[in-house]
Structure 1
């Protein structure tokens, strides 16, 4: 019998496997998809994520990031990282690096799609595999979380936000993550061939949104646009005329979408203490601060420590400890963004108070 079966072989699932294996636990990952897995992601690793990956023995190639730059029409303000550089890394590159590390740690990846599981006595059984613990790292819309009844009661979909990401083949023009802010409302002109979550985003009109530009290679930048559902990627990009002009003529890759981003979760440990949630499956506020990987790695580390100590019940408290700062700051920034008075003034205020803006960025990014 395994110690841990992890459902979901994305970066956080693989990182959890690496932490657990390093703690002396026997681990397998159930993941039906083969090869590096791509998804809609800003692809900017904040300094804490770079440090955590390095401590785990993972050092994916990418472009060094010096800080965060906020921009809107007429304003631009920079804040440099003080705790070391960040890194722009393709999602597939990050996944491949973690997969190699997991393999070297003796983690087995099984081509299994876990849809059913059963707790009996001191173990969990899924897809013919028995383990002392099952960890759900299966994303925003976690089937394991839903099956355990850990989703709250359905609530009216208000202020739902989605993300679209596309790569452009052009030389990076900065070593900052550039965040463009727009309050422009645009109409939809169709999904432009997008499918799945990307197609869901491309239905209707949309309002305030942000575009994240991350250099990920010498000739490649990623552009992720966050906002309410509505319109294709091209229509959304039109809300950022300066950025659209800069990208004009660059060859563009496919559009990937994700959302709704906010996922409320009752708790991270299911009744019985044998099934635990990590990463996006454990709850999510928004991608506004770009901390998803940093926080997910911290969750993975404390989860592995709790399981190695035989104290899974401690994980809820540890999860809250490592996630609280990011969740509170993200929620506060998101509330300001949605406020019709404060929202349009975020970037001008950052420019007028650069020391405050720099301190906020350093607080958010560790």
Structure 2
């Protein structure tokens, strides 16, 4: 019998598959889309994610970055926090997913072109899409079909505007070895070096407007970008998604499907890769229910810091002070950057 049936072949699902295969489990991934799979994403791997993926022998190819720079969108005032334990890596989403898929294939993980929707389970196994497994791992993304079908999605009670992500690539030589986060009144722009001749610009916003309209809120950044349009714009959202639990019988959730606050701190992939390892450890020990607590402990700093920063972001008097405060308190800012790194 299949030990782990994984719904979703994105980074979270494939990281879980790799962990499972290395632990000696029989793993099958159900993913209807062909590799490589693209998605709106900041495309920056924090140092913790880079280390974990290299430990899993996933071949990474990208552009190193050495910290985070906050920039006020109009005044240009800046604050920098450098990583203390090695660089992060700017990696195209398609390249990351393909590298994970390659590593999983080398370990003998089978990928079947199926979409998991309805799930049935009993005390011994799970049935989904004509397959039977000891456990099902839902790694089917921000708007998880499995989470919704099991009635585990929770309403957004934060009282904050819904946020969305937009991403576009530009054929531009990176001007910095840091990821830049430009802060405007209603949105942020994340600039990630991806190669010697390419950057990614991701906008996080609560405004409903085209990419170029929102980019105009960042005059200093816009001046560095070519006048001709960049690549295709991809979008995602609403970003905040809640889940009542991470373990429901023999169904476990990982990655964005486990619940998501916001992309503001850039920690999503690090959490997904680390949580994948904890999930497999709990299953292999015969204690899947322990994964709920493990996930909460792993995600605590991400959830608290991201929620706090997101709340401040939506308070205009506080939002205007985020970059100046980071500049006045460089040690605090660097400490926060390295906590997330």
The alignment's TM-score, normalised by the length of structure 2, stands at: 0.97
SS at match of 1:239: coil
Residue 119 (structure 1) shift: 1.2
Matches within 5 A, 1:193-272: 208-249=186-227, 251-270=229-248
**Alpha-carbon contact 1:168-1:250 (below 8 Å) kept:** no
**Alpha-carbon contact 1:24-1:308 (below 8 Å) kept:** no
Distance 1:312 1:76 in 2: 45
- Which residues of structure 1 form unaligned runs of 5+? 184-207
Going from structure 1 to structure 2, the CA distance change for 1:157 and 1:355 (only over 3 Å counts) comes to closer
Q: Are 1:357 and 2:333 an aligned pair? A: yes
Going from structure 1 to structure 2, the CA distance change for 1:260 and 1:163 (only over 3 Å counts) comes to same
Residue 120 (structure 1) shift: 3.3
Aligned partner of 1:301 in structure 2 is 277
Matches within 5 A, 1:182-201: 182-183=184-185
Q: Are 1:325 and 2:301 an aligned pair? A: yes
Aligned partner of 1:279 in structure 2 is 255
**Alpha-carbon contact 1:165-1:222 (below 8 Å) kept:** yes
Distance 1:215 1:261 in 2: 23
Going from structure 1 to structure 2, the CA distance change for 1:143 and 1:321 (only over 3 Å counts) comes to same
Cα deviations by residue, 1:126-157 (Å, 9 ceiling, x for unpaired): 12111000010000100000111111257697
**Alpha-carbon contact 1:169-1:250 (below 8 Å) kept:** no
**Alpha-carbon contact 2:255-2:272 (below 8 Å) kept:** yes
Distance 1:154 1:260 in 2: 10
Residue 248 (structure 1) shift: 2.6
Matches within 5 A, 1:1-366: 1-72=1-72, 73-74=74-75, 75-153=77-155, 158-183=160-185, 208-249=186-227, 251-270=229-248, 273-365=249-341
Cα deviations by residue, 1:293-334 (Å, 9 ceiling, x for unpaired): 001111101001011111111110011011111111111111
The alignment's TM-score, normalised by the length of structure 1, stands at: 0.90
Count of residues in Structure 1 that have an aligned counterpart in Structure 2? 339
Residue 364 (structure 1) shift: 2.2
SS at match of 1:329: helix
Worse-matched range after superposition: 349-358 or 158-167: 349-358
- Which residues of structure 2 form unaligned runs of 5+? none
What is the aligned-residue RMSD (CA, Å)?
1.3
